Structure 1
Amino acid sequence: MTNVHPGQRVAMLADAQNLYHTARSLYTRNIDYSSLLEEGVRGRTLTRAIAYVIRANAEDEESFFEALVDIGFEAKTKEIKTFGDGSKKADWDVGMSLDAVSLANHVDTIVLCTGDGDFSRLCRHLKHEGCRVEVMAFKESTAEELIEAADEFVDMSAQQETFLL
Protein backbone atom coordinates (compact mmCIF):
# COMPACT_ATOMS: atom_id res chain seq x y z
CA MET A 1 0.00 0.00 0.00
CA THR A 2 2.77 2.38 -0.81
CA ASN A 3 2.06 5.64 -2.60
CA VAL A 4 -1.53 5.76 -1.36
CA HIS A 5 -2.70 9.11 0.01
CA PRO A 6 -6.10 10.79 0.51
CA GLY A 7 -5.65 13.35 -2.28
CA GLN A 8 -5.18 10.70 -4.94
CA ARG A 9 -7.79 10.64 -7.69
CA VAL A 10 -8.91 7.09 -8.42
CA ALA A 11 -10.85 5.43 -11.22
CA MET A 12 -12.08 1.85 -10.81
CA LEU A 13 -12.80 -0.31 -13.84
CA ALA A 14 -14.49 -3.61 -12.96
CA ASP A 15 -14.76 -6.50 -15.40
CA ALA A 16 -18.04 -7.83 -13.98
CA GLN A 17 -18.05 -11.01 -16.10
CA ASN A 18 -14.54 -11.98 -15.05
CA LEU A 19 -15.30 -11.34 -11.36
CA TYR A 20 -18.69 -13.07 -11.48
CA HIS A 21 -17.48 -16.25 -13.14
CA THR A 22 -14.45 -16.52 -10.87
CA ALA A 23 -16.45 -15.95 -7.66
CA ARG A 24 -19.07 -18.49 -8.78
CA SER A 25 -16.59 -21.17 -9.85
CA LEU A 26 -14.22 -20.82 -6.88
CA TYR A 27 -16.66 -20.05 -4.06
CA THR A 28 -20.25 -20.39 -5.40
CA ARG A 29 -20.80 -16.84 -4.16
CA ASN A 30 -21.33 -13.38 -5.62
CA ILE A 31 -19.20 -10.24 -5.51
CA ASP A 32 -19.92 -7.56 -2.92
CA TYR A 33 -19.55 -4.55 -5.21
CA SER A 34 -20.03 -2.07 -2.39
CA SER A 35 -17.01 -3.50 -0.55
CA LEU A 36 -15.07 -3.81 -3.80
CA LEU A 37 -15.51 -0.09 -4.43
CA GLU A 38 -14.76 0.90 -0.84
CA GLU A 39 -11.63 -1.26 -0.61
CA GLY A 40 -10.41 -0.15 -4.03
CA VAL A 41 -10.80 3.55 -3.26
CA ARG A 42 -9.39 3.25 0.30
CA GLY A 43 -10.31 6.77 1.39
CA ARG A 44 -8.97 8.42 -1.75
CA THR A 45 -11.00 10.60 -4.13
CA LEU A 46 -13.18 8.55 -6.47
CA THR A 47 -13.29 10.10 -9.92
CA ARG A 48 -15.14 7.32 -11.77
CA ALA A 49 -16.23 3.76 -11.15
CA ILE A 50 -17.31 1.77 -14.19
CA ALA A 51 -18.64 -1.80 -14.15
CA TYR A 52 -18.57 -3.56 -17.52
CA VAL A 53 -21.44 -6.02 -17.77
CA ILE A 54 -22.84 -8.36 -20.40
CA ARG A 55 -26.57 -8.42 -21.01
CA ALA A 56 -27.58 -12.08 -21.04
CA ASN A 57 -31.33 -11.55 -20.48
CA ALA A 58 -31.06 -13.27 -17.11
CA GLU A 59 -33.81 -13.07 -14.52
CA ASP A 60 -32.38 -10.56 -12.02
CA GLU A 61 -30.16 -8.73 -14.47
CA GLU A 62 -31.93 -5.34 -14.38
CA SER A 63 -31.97 -5.22 -10.58
CA PHE A 64 -28.24 -6.06 -10.60
CA PHE A 65 -27.54 -3.16 -12.99
CA GLU A 66 -29.62 -0.83 -10.80
CA ALA A 67 -27.78 -2.01 -7.67
CA LEU A 68 -24.43 -1.23 -9.32
CA VAL A 69 -25.62 2.32 -10.03
CA ASP A 70 -26.92 2.73 -6.46
CA ILE A 71 -23.49 1.66 -5.13
CA GLY A 72 -21.75 4.29 -7.27
CA PHE A 73 -20.80 2.46 -10.44
CA GLU A 74 -21.62 3.54 -13.93
CA ALA A 75 -22.86 0.32 -15.59
CA LYS A 76 -21.76 -0.12 -19.20
CA THR A 77 -23.69 -2.93 -20.85
CA LYS A 78 -23.06 -4.94 -23.98
CA GLU A 79 -25.28 -7.53 -25.64
CA ILE A 80 -23.98 -11.07 -25.93
CA LYS A 81 -23.33 -12.05 -29.57
CA THR A 82 -24.43 -15.45 -30.84
CA PHE A 83 -22.66 -16.72 -33.95
CA GLY A 84 -23.96 -19.03 -36.68
CA ASP A 85 -22.28 -22.06 -35.10
CA GLY A 86 -24.09 -21.39 -31.81
CA SER A 87 -21.03 -20.07 -30.00
CA LYS A 88 -21.42 -16.92 -27.93
CA LYS A 89 -19.00 -14.12 -27.25
CA ALA A 90 -18.99 -10.89 -25.34
CA ASP A 91 -16.15 -9.14 -23.65
CA TRP A 92 -15.20 -5.64 -22.68
CA ASP A 93 -11.39 -5.84 -23.10
CA VAL A 94 -11.18 -3.13 -25.76
CA GLY A 95 -13.78 -0.91 -24.08
CA MET A 96 -12.07 -1.15 -20.69
CA SER A 97 -8.68 -0.46 -22.24
CA LEU A 98 -9.92 2.61 -24.13
CA ASP A 99 -11.60 3.97 -21.00
CA ALA A 100 -8.44 3.39 -18.94
CA VAL A 101 -6.27 5.20 -21.49
CA SER A 102 -8.79 8.07 -21.69
CA LEU A 103 -9.01 8.38 -17.89
CA ALA A 104 -5.24 8.13 -17.27
CA ASN A 105 -4.70 11.87 -17.76
CA HIS A 106 -7.45 12.71 -15.24
CA VAL A 107 -6.56 10.40 -12.34
CA ASP A 108 -3.53 9.35 -10.32
CA THR A 109 -4.51 5.69 -9.95
CA ILE A 110 -6.53 3.23 -11.99
CA VAL A 111 -7.85 0.15 -10.20
CA LEU A 112 -8.50 -2.73 -12.59
CA CYS A 113 -10.80 -5.41 -11.19
CA THR A 114 -10.01 -8.37 -13.41
CA GLY A 115 -7.66 -11.31 -13.55
CA ASP A 116 -7.40 -11.26 -17.33
CA GLY A 117 -3.77 -11.34 -18.47
CA ASP A 118 -4.69 -9.41 -21.62
CA PHE A 119 -4.62 -6.29 -19.43
CA SER A 120 -0.91 -6.61 -18.54
CA ARG A 121 0.12 -4.58 -21.59
CA LEU A 122 -2.43 -1.91 -20.61
CA CYS A 123 -0.87 -1.78 -17.11
CA ARG A 124 2.57 -1.20 -18.55
CA HIS A 125 1.24 1.55 -20.84
CA LEU A 126 -0.62 3.33 -18.01
CA LYS A 127 2.46 3.19 -15.77
CA HIS A 128 4.57 4.60 -18.62
CA GLU A 129 2.05 7.47 -18.80
CA GLY A 130 2.62 8.16 -15.09
CA CYS A 131 -0.50 6.50 -13.75
CA ARG A 132 -0.42 4.12 -10.78
CA VAL A 133 -2.13 0.78 -11.54
CA GLU A 134 -3.68 -1.48 -8.93
CA VAL A 135 -5.26 -4.84 -9.73
CA MET A 136 -7.95 -6.45 -7.57
CA ALA A 137 -8.83 -10.05 -8.39
CA PHE A 138 -8.80 -13.63 -7.15
CA LYS A 139 -5.19 -14.86 -7.24
CA GLU A 140 -6.12 -18.39 -8.36
CA SER A 141 -7.54 -17.01 -11.60
CA THR A 142 -5.27 -14.01 -12.16
CA ALA A 143 -2.59 -14.15 -14.83
CA GLU A 144 0.91 -13.90 -13.37
CA GLU A 145 1.89 -11.31 -15.99
CA LEU A 146 -0.96 -9.06 -14.83
CA ILE A 147 0.16 -9.28 -11.18
CA GLU A 148 3.72 -8.47 -12.23
CA ALA A 149 2.65 -5.53 -14.43
CA ALA A 150 0.62 -3.82 -11.67
CA ASP A 151 2.03 -1.49 -9.02
CA GLU A 152 -0.06 -3.36 -6.46
CA PHE A 153 -2.13 -6.53 -6.43
CA VAL A 154 -5.00 -7.11 -3.99
CA ASP A 155 -5.83 -10.81 -3.69
CA MET A 156 -9.60 -10.95 -3.16
CA SER A 157 -9.31 -14.64 -2.19
CA ALA A 158 -7.33 -13.65 0.89
CA GLN A 159 -10.26 -11.45 2.00
CA GLN A 160 -13.30 -13.50 0.99
CA GLU A 161 -15.48 -12.15 3.81
CA THR A 162 -14.86 -8.63 2.53
CA PHE A 163 -15.36 -9.20 -1.16
CA LEU A 164 -17.99 -11.96 -1.34
CA LEU A 165 -21.67 -11.97 -0.41
Structure 2
Amino acid sequence: MFYRDERLALFIDGSNLYAAAKALGFDIDYKLLRSEFMRRGKLLRAFYYTALLESDEYSPIRPLVDWLNYNGFNMVTKPAKEYTDSMGRRKVKGNMDIELCVDAMELAPHVDHIVLFSGDGDYRPMIESLQRNGVRVSVVSTIRSQPPMISDDLRRQADNFIELDELRDVIGRPPRPEGEDQRSEPEYETEN
Protein backbone atom coordinates (compact mmCIF):
# COMPACT_ATOMS: atom_id res chain seq x y z
CA MET A 1 0.00 0.00 0.00
CA PHE A 2 3.05 2.29 -0.23
CA TYR A 3 4.66 3.70 -3.38
CA ARG A 4 8.38 4.52 -3.48
CA ASP A 5 7.86 7.95 -5.04
CA GLU A 6 5.04 9.14 -2.76
CA ARG A 7 5.67 11.90 -0.25
CA LEU A 8 5.04 10.58 3.29
CA ALA A 9 4.51 12.18 6.68
CA LEU A 10 4.24 10.36 10.00
CA PHE A 11 1.99 11.64 12.79
CA ILE A 12 2.66 9.83 16.08
CA ASP A 13 0.24 10.21 18.99
CA GLY A 14 2.93 9.36 21.56
CA SER A 15 0.83 8.22 24.51
CA ASN A 16 -1.57 6.24 22.29
CA LEU A 17 1.26 4.43 20.44
CA TYR A 18 3.02 3.73 23.74
CA ALA A 19 -0.16 2.23 25.22
CA ALA A 20 -0.72 0.04 22.13
CA ALA A 21 2.88 -1.25 22.10
CA LYS A 22 2.76 -1.87 25.86
CA ALA A 23 -0.50 -3.83 25.45
CA LEU A 24 1.32 -6.00 22.88
CA GLY A 25 4.36 -6.39 25.16
CA PHE A 26 7.09 -4.59 23.24
CA ASP A 27 8.92 -1.25 23.02
CA ILE A 28 9.26 0.83 19.86
CA ASP A 29 12.72 1.55 18.44
CA TYR A 30 12.08 4.96 16.89
CA LYS A 31 15.25 4.88 14.81
CA LEU A 32 14.04 1.67 13.18
CA LEU A 33 10.52 3.09 12.80
CA ARG A 34 11.83 6.15 10.95
CA SER A 35 14.12 3.99 8.76
CA GLU A 36 11.26 1.65 7.87
CA PHE A 37 9.07 4.46 6.58
CA MET A 38 12.00 6.14 4.78
CA ARG A 39 12.32 2.84 2.93
CA ARG A 40 8.60 2.82 2.06
CA GLY A 41 8.49 6.29 0.47
CA LYS A 42 9.92 9.81 0.51
CA LEU A 43 9.59 10.68 4.18
CA LEU A 44 9.18 14.46 4.44
CA ARG A 45 8.33 14.76 8.15
CA ALA A 46 7.94 12.60 11.23
CA PHE A 47 5.96 14.34 13.99
CA TYR A 48 5.76 13.08 17.57
CA TYR A 49 3.09 14.52 19.91
CA THR A 50 3.20 14.27 23.67
CA ALA A 51 2.27 16.20 26.78
CA LEU A 52 4.99 16.76 29.37
CA LEU A 53 4.44 16.80 33.11
CA GLU A 54 6.46 19.90 34.00
CA SER A 55 5.87 19.75 37.76
CA ASP A 56 8.16 16.74 38.21
CA GLU A 57 11.86 17.45 38.71
CA TYR A 58 12.63 14.61 36.32
CA SER A 59 10.15 13.60 33.65
CA PRO A 60 10.45 9.94 32.58
CA ILE A 61 9.75 10.95 28.99
CA ARG A 62 12.42 13.69 28.81
CA PRO A 63 15.21 11.35 27.50
CA LEU A 64 12.89 10.09 24.74
CA VAL A 65 11.81 13.62 23.79
CA ASP A 66 15.43 14.79 23.64
CA TRP A 67 16.54 11.74 21.62
CA LEU A 68 13.69 12.10 19.11
CA ASN A 69 14.37 15.82 18.76
CA TYR A 70 18.01 15.15 17.82
CA ASN A 71 17.20 12.23 15.51
CA GLY A 72 14.92 13.59 12.83
CA PHE A 73 11.56 13.88 14.57
CA ASN A 74 9.59 17.11 14.84
CA MET A 75 8.57 17.27 18.49
CA VAL A 76 5.25 18.84 19.44
CA THR A 77 4.77 19.11 23.20
CA LYS A 78 2.67 20.97 25.73
CA PRO A 79 2.33 20.84 29.51
CA ALA A 80 0.15 18.01 30.84
CA LYS A 81 -2.63 18.83 33.29
CA GLU A 82 -2.75 17.17 36.69
CA TYR A 83 -6.02 16.70 38.56
CA THR A 84 -7.64 14.53 41.21
CA ASP A 85 -10.65 12.49 40.11
CA SER A 86 -13.85 11.92 42.14
CA MET A 87 -12.26 8.85 43.80
CA GLY A 88 -9.30 10.91 45.02
CA ARG A 89 -6.84 9.39 42.53
CA ARG A 90 -4.17 11.58 40.92
CA LYS A 91 -4.71 11.70 37.15
CA VAL A 92 -2.73 13.25 34.34
CA LYS A 93 -4.37 14.42 31.13
CA GLY A 94 -2.37 15.35 28.07
CA ASN A 95 -4.49 15.47 24.93
CA MET A 96 -2.66 16.47 21.73
CA ASP A 97 -5.52 15.84 19.26
CA ILE A 98 -6.00 19.45 18.13
CA GLU A 99 -2.28 20.06 17.58
CA LEU A 100 -1.95 16.88 15.52
CA CYS A 101 -5.05 17.68 13.42
CA VAL A 102 -3.97 21.24 12.67
CA ASP A 103 -0.49 20.11 11.60
CA ALA A 104 -1.89 17.31 9.40
CA MET A 105 -4.32 19.68 7.67
CA GLU A 106 -1.56 22.26 7.07
CA LEU A 107 0.82 19.64 5.63
CA ALA A 108 -1.84 17.92 3.47
CA PRO A 109 -1.16 19.95 0.28
CA HIS A 110 2.50 18.86 0.38
CA VAL A 111 2.13 15.08 0.91
CA ASP A 112 0.57 12.10 -0.83
CA HIS A 113 0.24 9.79 2.16
CA ILE A 114 -0.07 10.35 5.91
CA VAL A 115 0.61 7.58 8.40
CA LEU A 116 -1.20 8.11 11.71
CA PHE A 117 0.06 6.16 14.72
CA SER A 118 -3.04 6.21 16.93
CA GLY A 119 -6.24 4.32 17.53
CA ASP A 120 -8.18 7.33 18.82
CA GLY A 121 -11.57 7.57 17.10
CA ASP A 122 -11.51 11.36 17.48
CA TYR A 123 -9.21 11.42 14.42
CA ARG A 124 -11.87 9.99 12.08
CA PRO A 125 -13.15 13.41 10.84
CA MET A 126 -9.56 14.52 10.21
CA ILE A 127 -8.90 11.42 8.10
CA GLU A 128 -12.11 11.99 6.17
CA SER A 129 -11.07 15.59 5.43
CA LEU A 130 -7.54 14.57 4.38
CA GLN A 131 -9.02 11.98 2.01
CA ARG A 132 -11.33 14.60 0.45
CA ASN A 133 -8.16 16.59 -0.26
CA GLY A 134 -6.53 13.67 -2.07
CA VAL A 135 -4.29 12.41 0.72
CA ARG A 136 -4.16 8.68 1.43
CA VAL A 137 -4.18 7.85 5.15
CA SER A 138 -2.84 4.72 6.82
CA VAL A 139 -3.48 4.08 10.50
CA VAL A 140 -1.11 2.08 12.71
CA SER A 141 -2.57 0.56 15.89
CA THR A 142 -3.71 -2.85 17.09
CA ILE A 143 -6.79 -5.02 17.22
CA ARG A 144 -4.81 -7.86 18.80
CA SER A 145 -4.78 -6.45 22.33
CA GLN A 146 -7.60 -6.95 24.82
CA PRO A 147 -9.43 -4.66 24.46
CA PRO A 148 -8.41 -3.53 20.94
CA MET A 149 -6.55 -0.20 20.96
CA ILE A 150 -8.21 1.17 17.83
CA SER A 151 -11.68 2.56 17.31
CA ASP A 152 -13.63 0.60 14.73
CA ASP A 153 -14.77 3.86 13.05
CA LEU A 154 -11.15 4.98 12.66
CA ARG A 155 -10.08 1.66 11.17
CA ARG A 156 -12.96 1.71 8.67
CA GLN A 157 -12.22 5.31 7.61
CA ALA A 158 -8.52 4.73 6.94
CA ASP A 159 -7.35 3.77 3.46
CA ASN A 160 -5.11 1.18 5.05
CA PHE A 161 -4.89 -0.33 8.54
CA ILE A 162 -1.45 -1.49 9.65
CA GLU A 163 -1.46 -3.92 12.57
CA LEU A 164 1.22 -2.73 15.02
CA ASP A 165 1.92 -6.31 16.08
CA GLU A 166 2.97 -7.12 12.50
CA LEU A 167 5.62 -4.37 12.72
CA ARG A 168 7.10 -5.82 15.93
CA ASP A 169 10.02 -7.55 14.14
CA VAL A 170 10.75 -4.42 12.07
CA ILE A 171 10.43 -1.60 14.66
CA GLY A 172 10.49 -3.42 18.01
CA ARG A 173 13.34 -3.02 20.45
CA PRO A 174 14.80 -6.11 22.08
CA PRO A 175 13.68 -6.48 25.72
CA ARG A 176 16.00 -4.73 28.19
CA PRO A 177 17.07 -6.09 31.55
CA GLU A 178 14.89 -4.93 34.45
CA GLY A 179 16.05 -1.63 35.96
CA GLU A 180 17.79 -0.40 32.79
CA ASP A 181 16.92 3.13 31.60
CA GLN A 182 13.44 2.98 30.09
CA ARG A 183 12.78 5.64 27.43
CA SER A 184 9.03 5.61 27.36
CA GLU A 185 5.85 7.59 27.60
CA PRO A 186 4.24 8.08 30.99
CA GLU A 187 0.73 6.70 31.36
CA TYR A 188 -1.71 9.37 30.25
CA GLU A 189 -5.37 8.83 29.63
CA THR A 190 -5.91 7.70 26.05
CA GLU A 191 -9.14 7.51 24.12
CA ASN A 192 -10.14 5.10 21.37
Give 2:80's aligned residue.
80
User: Whole-Å Cα distance in 1 between the matches of residues 68 and 156 of structure 2?
Assistant: 29
Q: What amino acid sits opposite 1:141 in the alignment?
A: M
Say if 1:40 and 1:111, in contact at 8 Å, map to a contact too. Answer: no
Structure possessing the higher relative contact order (Cα contacts under 8 Å, 6 or more residues apart)? 2
Following TM superposition, by how much is the alpha carbon of 1:59 offset from its aligned partner in structure 2, in angstroms? 4.6
User: 5 Å matches for 1:138-153?
Assistant: 138-139=142-143, 140-153=148-161
After superposition, the C-alpha distances for 1:42-94 in whole angstroms (9 at most, x for unaligned) are 43111111100121345543221122123321111111112465543111111
Give 2:131's aligned residue.
127
Tell me whether 1:30 sits opposite 2:3 in the alignment: no
After superposition, the C-alpha distances for 1:5-62 in whole angstroms (9 at most, x for unaligned) are 22211111100110112222331x3222223223334431111111001213455432
**By percentage of residues, which structure has more helix?**
1
Equivalent pairs, count: 162
Question: Cα RMSD (Å) of the superposition?
Answer: 1.9
Give 1:51's aligned residue.
48
Which of the pair has more CA radius of gyration? 2
After superposition, the C-alpha distances for 1:101-145 in whole angstroms (9 at most, x for unaligned) are 101011111111111111111111100111111111222311111
90-99 vs 130-139, which moves further: 130-139
- Secondary structure of 2:134 counterpart: coil
The gaps in structure 2 that reach 5 residues or longer are 174-192
Say if 1:156 and 1:163, in contact at 8 Å, map to a contact too. Answer: no
- Secondary structure of 2:28 counterpart: coil
What TM-score results when the alignment is normalised by the length of structure 1? 0.87
The gaps in structure 1 that reach 5 residues or longer are none
What TM-score results when the alignment is normalised by the length of structure 2? 0.76
